[in-house]
Amino acid sequence: MRKNILITGASSGLGEGMAREFAAKGCNLALCARRLQPMLELKAELEAAHPNISVYIRELDVCNYPQVFEVFKAFKEDMGSLDRVIVNAGMGKGASLGTGYFEANRQTAETNFVGALAQCEAALEIMRAQNSGHLVTVSSMSALRGSARALNVYAASKAGLRNMTEGIRADMMNTPIKVSCILPGFILTPINEGMKKAPMRVDLASGCKSLVKAIEKEPAEAKVPAWPWVAVGLAMKIFPLSIVSKMT
């Protein structure tokens, strides 16, 4: 069992939901995000509900790259080992290119790709040293094809993360370090709650149960929830762009 689990972006959404699921399974948690207060409340709640676990929290902006390494190392010292690191922190700001929203698009690209790169680097330094661990990146179903409008840069950054994760997995072959990329479909989170188009969206609790179930199987890649997103993923690969763009 992977006992000690680090989750980034843990103050809300998928990170918070996964923390609840892993806590219920008896896992110790290292939680980090930009907002400290929600994590303080989550820590108190989880330790009260599950007195057999320990929950450590730290403030972290994943675009503060030196801080990423400092925080991950501090969590490793707290827990003795990091058995699983879930690179979950992300951003969904943005708009169609050329419409005056470069700064929002830049922030999304930097957070979702360069920030994820920093997290993967920090996690793998620790895992290489302890010669064990499971690195999990949270990409998106939008990574499978280019997306229009507000999802353009978001989808591109998640595609980059998916590709990078596959490269890491190739690098870690024949080692004790496992690498997984998870592609969630539409799960209700603060990032997408305002979206008018969110076909087949599931509630946060159900989505996080599916995420944790998939992660614990340690697959190379998983589309979550499996139904209908495995089928949707196949369709996205073969449908013309004119149709795909209407699906997202």
Least-confidence region, from 56-60, 125-129, 231-235: 231-235
Q: Residue 152 in contact with residue 197, Cβ under 8 Å?
A: no
| 242 or 234, greater pLDDT | 234
pLDDT confidence of residue 248: 55
Average pLDDT taken over every residue of the chain? 92
| Mean pLDDT along residues 27-38 | 97
User: Alpha-carbon torsion 113, 56, 169, 139, what sign?
Assistant: negative
56 classed as catalytic: no
The total number of residues written for the chain in this structure: 248
User: SS3 for 28?
Assistant: strand
Distance CA 41, CA 54 (A): 14
Two structure tokens written together for 14: 């998928």
- The per-residue pLDDT for range 60-108, each reduced to its tens digit, is 999 999 999 999 999 999 999 999 999 999 999 999 999 999 999 999 9
Q: Which residues pair with 136 in a beta bridge?
A: 86, 180
Within 13 Å of residue 132, how many CA atoms lie on the same side as its CB? 11
For residue 156, give Cα distances in angstroms to 72, 202, 222: 26, 23, 18
For the domain made up of 4-247, give the CATH fold: Rossmann fold (3.40.50)
pLDDT confidence of residue 239: 66
Please report how the helices 102-109 and 152-171 are oriented relative to each other, as an axis angle in degrees rounded to 10.
20
- Per the residue annotation, which of 56, 65, 101, 154 is the catalytic one? 154
| Mean pLDDT along residues 31-43 | 97
For residue 196, give Cα distances in angstroms to 149, 186, 199, 201, 248: 13, 12, 9, 11, 10
